[in-house]
């Protein structure tokens, strides 16, 4: 089953951030991924981990480049270790009904507090 994405393709917000065309606060980097602060934080630490290359969602990324998905997890862990106590939640919203609004895959790294669980 495929996940619906809004179209047609528009200039991608996170590609622009990765390219430095839109200002952001980068908190960590790896060879193929970047972590930057979410503009609307939901926790004391709320960063987004994104691949430098464009992939639409985590399903597509996992199929295309599982090593890059593992790199995102590792980068998120590093962010949580640098900015909090190393414990973190990593969320990939996959599709509009799941809350995905930017169609360049990104993991939300939430940390720095006791996290509740009210996903719906």
In the complex, the smallest distance separating the C-beta of residue 50 from ligand AMP, rounded to whole angstroms, is 10
Which positions ≥6 away from 88 have C-beta within 8 Å? 45, 76, 77, 79, 80, 109, 110, 111
The region of 35-43, 70-78, 82-90, 112-120 touching ligand AMP under the rule CB under 6 A is 35-43
Q: How many residues bind Zn ion (CB under 5 A)?
A: 5
Q: How many residues bind ligand AMP (CB under 6 A)?
A: 12
Q: Is 15 near Zn ion (CB under 5 A)?
A: yes
Is 29 within 8 Å of 35 (Cβ atoms)? yes
Q: Which of ligand AMP, Zn ion, none has residue 99 at its interface (CB below 5 to 8 Å by kind)? A: ligand AMP
In the complex, the smallest distance separating the C-beta of residue 44 from Zn ion, rounded to whole angstroms, is 27
- Cα Rg of the chain, angstroms: 14
The region of 3-11, 19-27, 46-54, 82-90 touching Zn ion under the rule CB under 5 A is 46-54
Q: Is 100 near ligand AMP (CB under 6 A)?
A: yes
Helix (H, G, I), strand (E, B) or coil at 15: helix
Residues in the chain: 120
**Catalytic site includes residue 106:** yes
Please report the sign of the dihedral spanned by the C-alpha atoms of residue 104, residue 105, residue 110, residue 116.
positive
């Amino acid at each position: 089953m495929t996940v619906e994405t809004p179209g047609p393709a528009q200039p991608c917000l996170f590609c622009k951030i990765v390219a430095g065309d839109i200002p952001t606060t980068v908190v960590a980097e790896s060879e193929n991924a970047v972590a930057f602060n979410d503009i609307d934080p939901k926790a004391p630490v709320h960063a987004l981990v994104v691949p430098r290359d464009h992939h639409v969602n985590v399903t597509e990324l996992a199929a295309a480049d599982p090593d890059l998905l593992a790199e995102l997890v590792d980068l998120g862990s590093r962010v949580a270790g640098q900015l909090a106590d190393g414990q973190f939640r990593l969320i990939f919203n996959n599709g509009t009904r799941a809350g995905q609004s930017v169609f360049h895959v990104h993991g939300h790294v939430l940390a720095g507090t006791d996290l509740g669980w009210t996903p719906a």
